Structure 1
């Protein structure tokens, strides 16, 4: 059996992948009529006559995303691109039909949220923008609690990560708003998620001298014993007496457990 060298994306993963790869070549492997009736923005139609030209004219460092009707033909094309040395290739499980079904069942976005999305440069609730930040990340970073609530109600994912590997929970910590941190955590966010450097939200809050956020995260169950790639814990990073005291107590309790 040939080893698959490309990534298969679920519809729920598509927005984050496109946000993380804004320069991706998007290829639609459906017929001309289907493509004309509707397609993903900026996509190029792919067929048996132009696929070799695209393979040889596209830099192999460029990400490639391919979708078809139901996710079958896209796998064949994706494997071809991967076999020719493209390092970041993905296709869509369920294809265009799966995407349309997901969109049809997506919670409605009210007029106020739609206006906010448009004013902040977002096309929809899930698709990421600058630096891979989703609308939920952006609202959390700006400390806009009512928008955070609206986005969560509209189905915004709390597990999406930006280009640094941070989630909306981390961005909520940046805004220094314990209520937003609690709201995102209650929606199912991983309290102990670590970014690309191995740092958690608790570590960030400690190093940024945000004792209210440290206290909130600890109350939500954040693990003070987790260490970064350089073996530093949140306690090691504490930048204020208040954070130091909170983390000393939490660390003692965690070690005794």
Structure 2
């Protein structure tokens, strides 16, 4: 038999011992604990797993070894090294295709930027690795992300005379009409004739549709 006693501040259940009943040990919990536990147990199988959490449960020795070698914590996909560089940005800068794929599969953030405001796409363009550029685009990287100076990856590639990169970015749909903080477009920055021709053609197509 349970007996309730009340006070203005709280309610506390008390138990009257039964006669001739062997003493047993019972685990007490709050009345709501069992409900919360039941709800949690019901929801947990339905809760979607993030790729990053899956990666934590299924370690990738090659990825962890690479992270450590580059100065990152082995269990942090968003750890930072010099110039606020994340693992994905670093892998793109180095042209590490397998690592880029592993990081993307594990849930590394595509919107992470370094200390200059450049994202992974910019560094892939720096490396001129078209396969990594394609992989980033396939995974939804921001093609027209502007860094701290307002420049995009297309502007950088044009200014560096990276013709193949300019062509690939234009094919992916990069905006040729954007301006940086100095009011220059990628066309204004073209460093060679090939880039100039590609950007002029893209600019004409852009003008025809606006």
TM-score, normalised to structure 1's length?
0.59
Which of 154, 157, 167 is the matching residue for 1:202?
A: 154
Match of 1:161 among 88, 108, 113: 113
Shift of 1:178: 1.0
CA deviation string 1:122-147 (max 9, x = no partner): 11211121101111111100111111
For 1:160 and 1:115, how far apart are their aligned partners in 2?
22
Aligned length: 157
Does residue 129 in structure 1 map to residue 81 in structure 2?
yes
Task: From 164, 169, 172, give the equivalent of 1:212.
Answer: 164
Partner SS state of residue 139, structure 1? helix
Structure 1 runs of 4+ with >6 Å offset: 101-104
Instruction: Structure 2: state its 5+ residue gaps.
Output: 1-48
1:8-40 alpha-carbon deviations (Å, 9 max, x no partner)? xxxxxxxxxxxxxxxxxxxxxxxxxxxxxxxxx
Secondary structure, aligned partner of 2:116: coil
Q: CA RMSD in A?
A: 1.7
Shift of 1:103: 10
Counterpart contact for 2:52–2:107, Cα < 8 Å: no
Greater relative contact order, per chain length (Cα 8 Å cut-off, separation 6+) = 1
The CA distance in 1 between the partners of 2:71 and 2:172, in whole Å, is 32
TM-score, normalization: structure 2? 0.72
User: What are the Cα deviations for residues 230-255 of structure 1, in whole angstroms up to 9, with x where unaligned?
Assistant: 11000000001111110000001001
SS in 2 for 1:105: helix
Post-superposition CA distance 1:192-249 (Å, at most 9, x none): 0000000000000000010110011001100000001111000000001111110000
Q: Is the 8 A contact 2:155 2:185 kept in 1?
A: yes
Question: Distance in 2 between the 1:126 and 1:186 partners?
Answer: 20
C-alpha distance in structure 1 between counterparts of 2:205 and 2:51, whole Å: 46
Matched, 1:111 2:58: no
Summarize deviations over 1:141-190 as a string: whole Å, max 9, x none. Answer: 01111111111111111101111111001000000011101101111110
Partner of 1:150: 102
